[in-house]
Structure 1
Amino acid sequence: MNKKVYRVRTQYIFDGVFDVVAKSREEARQKVIQNCGLVMGRNIHSTLSDDEINWAFDRHPNKRISRITKVQKYPSE
């Protein structure tokens, strides 16, 4: 059987909210950009204190596969 290598373009979309204590919309936006994120294989995280932030995210992301392309033949064994 001739195997081939395929590149599968995939997006994992986590949807949720960060409730942030801030003086303005722009400050709240900057706090999330600079202090919040997701590490692959880990957790959603924030470097802000618990007094400044709370969040709610679904643990299971939406998965979207958009394109599959053949890259090359699989090396024969």
Structure 2
Amino acid sequence: MKKKVYRVRTQYIFDGVFDVVAESKEYARQKVLQDCGLVMGGSIHSTLPDDEVNWAVSTSPEVRTGRITIQKEQTE
């Protein structure tokens, strides 16, 4: 039986909050975009000092799959 390689579009959606100390909403947004995130295969993190950030983010993402397409056929 021939097998095929399938490409499955996937989104991992992590939901949570980062409470950051900042002078404005825009600066708070910048801090989160630049200094907080997720390392693939690692953990959720922040490079901000502990006294500037507190966070609660789910480590169990919502997983959505989308379009599935055949990339190529495998020969055995």
**TM-score of the superposed pair, with normalisation by structure 1:** 0.94
1:8 aligns with 2:23: no
Cα offset, 1:14, TM superposition: 0.3
In structure 1, runs of 5+ residues without a counterpart are: none
How many angstroms apart in 1 are the aligned matches of 2:9 and 2:70?
Answer: 12
TM-score (norm 2): 0.95
**Gap regions ≥5 residues in structure 2:** none
Deviations 1:21-58 (CA, angstroms, capped at 9, x unpaired) = 11110110111111111111101111101100010011
Partner of 1:54: 54
Alignment of 1:27-42 (within 5 A): 27-42=27-42
Displaced runs of 4 or more, over 4 A: none
What root-mean-square deviation, in Å, do the aligned CA atoms of Structure 1 and Structure 2 show?
0.8
Q: How many residues align?
A: 76
Determine what percentage of the aligned residue pairs are the same residue.
68
3-state secondary structure, aligned to 2:40: coil
Structure 1 CA distance for aligned equivalents of residues 44 and 59 of structure 2: 9
Q: Does 1:73 align with 2:73?
A: yes
